[in-house]
Amino acid sequence: MKVVTIFGFNNQKKILDNYFKSEYPSGSFLFHGQEMIGKKTLALELANKHITRSGGSATHDLLFIDSSHSDSGQTISIDKIREAKKFLSLSPFGGKLKFVIIDNAHEMQEEAQNSILKIIEEPPSYAIMILISHKTDTILPTILSRCQKFYFPAHSPQVISKILNDNNTGLSEEQIKFVSDFSNGRTGMVFNILKENSFKDIKKAVQKLSDLISSDIHERFLFVANIVDKSKAGELEKTILYWMLYLRPKLTQDNDGKSKADVVRMAKNLLKLHYTISNPHYNKRLAMENFVLTL
């Protein structure tokens, strides 16, 4: 299935394009908004475009940093910031700009944040720093105050529907509406669904949650036994993630007879369950049994 990238955010792109075309465009920026809506993709698109426009090479003049190479996969250490300092100490390769993009900047350890602050305070004339985050409350206030902030809202249902229709998914209008509601405006999630062809898996997981709510205790425990003991590695975690993502937009919607308090309670229990089963020291079956008892 061919995926055609659609980014949106025309106002943000226009402002940033004009700024990066200016004579002295160095500075630091914070791209913030909920996860998986295209902040990283837009940052990379802009960096590649303006490095090339100025005569440079993205291979040499763009440094992308995230937590994927850390032991936990969830932290950005000071070593990565030292790498950024070394990268920025060298002039651009034939062009006028060098970009450093830090994805999930909230995952920087405190020492790393203090170190990046020094770069932000005294950047080279050719340096553009883009921090990307959906959890800005964990970033040092001194960093936030020195960045130009760009907020990226969730995409409209019309944008999500256009993505699905333009990619010839073969989904019905009802299915497109389901994916639109499920994604809650996150184009990154929609592209993942298309790439992995996971619509049926998501629909199946959501239907199972609905069935569990109306099932008796015996049927709930039978489901737990099957998914914990017989499912493939990672299937349980993915099912719970689908449940969480399905419930999130319903926290602010009318919910077919279920009170908002019930939905909030279920969402909180799912968050607790997700944390528990992500820890290898906990008993997954016991955690699942405790959860289905709360439905």
Give the tokens for residue 86: 């070394």
Q: Edge-to-edge strands of the sheet including 127-133?
A: 62-65, 98-102, 127-133, 27-32, 148-151
Q: SS3 for 32?
A: strand
* pLDDT of amino acid 277: 83
CB 109 within 8 A of CB 78: yes
65 φ/ψ angles, rounded to the nearest 5 degrees: -125, 135
* pLDDT of amino acid 167: 79
User: What's the whole-number average pLDDT of the chain?
Assistant: 88
Q: What is the pLDDT of residues 134-169, one digit of tens each?
A: 999 999 999 999 999 999 998 888 888 888 888 777
Alpha carbon distance 233, 76 (integer Å): 27
pTM above 0.85, yes or no: no
* pLDDT of amino acid 62: 97
> Which parts of the chain register pLDDT below 50?
1-6
Which of 75, 58, 78 lies closest to 67, judged by CA? 75
